[in-house]
């Protein structure tokens, strides 16, 4: 976006206005790009990487401002190499000499009739972008692609304002924002079962998977915690960092399944709210996310203890064991809660399946 002139002639970053909570078109003025990094003490230069961790540009740090969230830096940008060619390069701002007269900036899933020029956001999912662009082109619409800027600090109305501003600078003279639903029913789904060790989440997840495969047409993939540990996350331990990496890997694979219209059913312990939130964010970029809390009480899980893990944890043989020496953060945002009152596996599975098949208003399956 910098190189296409969306932020003006100068290819550089500037500091946000002093005291500004967010960096938006209103708080900074037109054609101003900002960059915030996590490092509280950056050096004289900052290297920018692409998604494959390849250096593509360097920022000369001529000014900076540190906040609790990181450091804003300002300075000219020098390209080190050409970035990888993105999907649909012929539809991006740098490919057009003139702006379209009028355009609709599509945010969210398409809804209603569209005409003329439609600007589609590139959210980083090539499959979803391709599906949207091809669908609009089949309807005879002129499509342009606007990459979403990496501005996680800009949210809500400020984010819409920023995107509308960039679309107006890079794509069309007049832009109207159309907000569709975040995701239409029938798209890919990630279902995360979370609960203590021995809560029954894996057993319930397997039963839900069997029923969904038998009763629906959507492809369902089961990513069980123990199996993922053995195959995808072999070599990881049980420190917080390793647990977070394990769940992150599960979330990434599950999101890929969802991005192709499938349903991924996952059953790790996922004890921390932050890792569940990260998995939700990944999933919702590709489809929908359903959190199922298998709330079997600790005393019941410990009484079952088929693997003898609780006994070893009580004896100090297993460190950082969830529920004993390491916390389990009870979900406050669960879509479905089962297992708290001694329900059977079949009863728990039936509740989840009813939610997913719209009997309880979920309408998630095809």
| Positions at the binding site | 195-202
Tell me which residue of 209, 242, 204, 201 sits closest to 225, measured CA to CA: 201
Q: Give the annotated binding-site residues for ATP.
A: 195-202
Query: What is the distance between the alpha carbons of residues 1 and 168, in angstroms, rounded to a whole number?
Result: 13
Q: Give the single-character DSSP code of 331.
A: -
Q: Give the single-character DSSP code of 67.
A: E
Strand partners, 336: 292
> Given its phi and psi angles, is residue 134 left (phi above 0), alpha (psi -120 to 50 degrees) or beta?
alpha
- Specify whether the CB–CB gap between 101 and 142 falls below 8 A: no
Tell me which residue of 27, 31, 23, 40 sits closest to 4, measured CA to CA: 31
- Alpha helical stretches, state H, the chain: 25-28, 126-138, 156-170, 201-215, 225-231, 240-259, 273-286, 298-304, 309-314, 345-356
């Amino acid at each position: 976006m910098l190189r296409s002139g969306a932020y003006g002639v100068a290819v550089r970053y500037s500091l946000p206005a002093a005291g500004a909570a967010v960096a938006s078109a209103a708080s900074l003025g037109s054609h101003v790009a900002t960059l915030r990094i996590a490092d509280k003490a950056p050096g004289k230069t900052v290297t920018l990487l692409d998604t494959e961790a390849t250096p593509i540009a360097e920022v000369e740090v001529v000014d900076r401002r540190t906040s609790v969230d990181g450091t804003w830096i300002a300075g000219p940008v020098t390209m080190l190499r050409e970035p990888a060619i993105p999907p649909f390069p012929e539809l991006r701002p740098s490919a057009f000499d003139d702006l379209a007269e009028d355009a609709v900036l599509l945010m969210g899933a398409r809804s209603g009739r569209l005409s003329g020029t439609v600007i589609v956001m590139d959210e980083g999912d090539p499959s979803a972008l391709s599906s949207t662009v091809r669908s609009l082109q089949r309807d005879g619409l002129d499509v342009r692609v606007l990459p979403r800027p990496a501005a996680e600090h800009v949210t809500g109305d400020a984010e819409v304002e920023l995107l509308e501003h960039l679309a107006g600078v890079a794509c069309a003279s007049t832009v109207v924002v159309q907000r569709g639903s975040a995701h239409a029913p029938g798209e890919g789904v990630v279902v995360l079962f979370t609960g203590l060790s021995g809560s029954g989440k894996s057993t319930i997840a397997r039963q839900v998977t069997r029923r969904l495969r038998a009763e629906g047409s959507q492809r369902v993939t089961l990513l069980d915690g123990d199996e993922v540990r053995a195959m995808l996350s072999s070599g990881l331990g049980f420190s917080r960092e390793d647990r977070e990496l394990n769940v992150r890997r599960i979330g990434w694979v599950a999101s890929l399944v969802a991005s192709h219209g499938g349903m991924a059913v996952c059953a790790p312990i996922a004890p921390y709210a932050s890792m569940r939130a990260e998995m939700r964010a990944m999933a919702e970029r590709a489809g929908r996310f359903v959190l199922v809390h298998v709330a079997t009480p600790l005393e019941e899980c410990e009484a079952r203890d088929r693997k003898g893990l609780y006994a070893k944890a009580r004896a100090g043989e297993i460190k950082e064991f969830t529920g004993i020496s390491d916390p389990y953060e009870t979900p406050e945002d669960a879509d479905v809660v089962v297992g708290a009152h001694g329900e059977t596996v079949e009863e728990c599975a039936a509740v989840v399946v009813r939610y997913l098949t719209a009997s309880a208003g979920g309408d998630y399956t095809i």
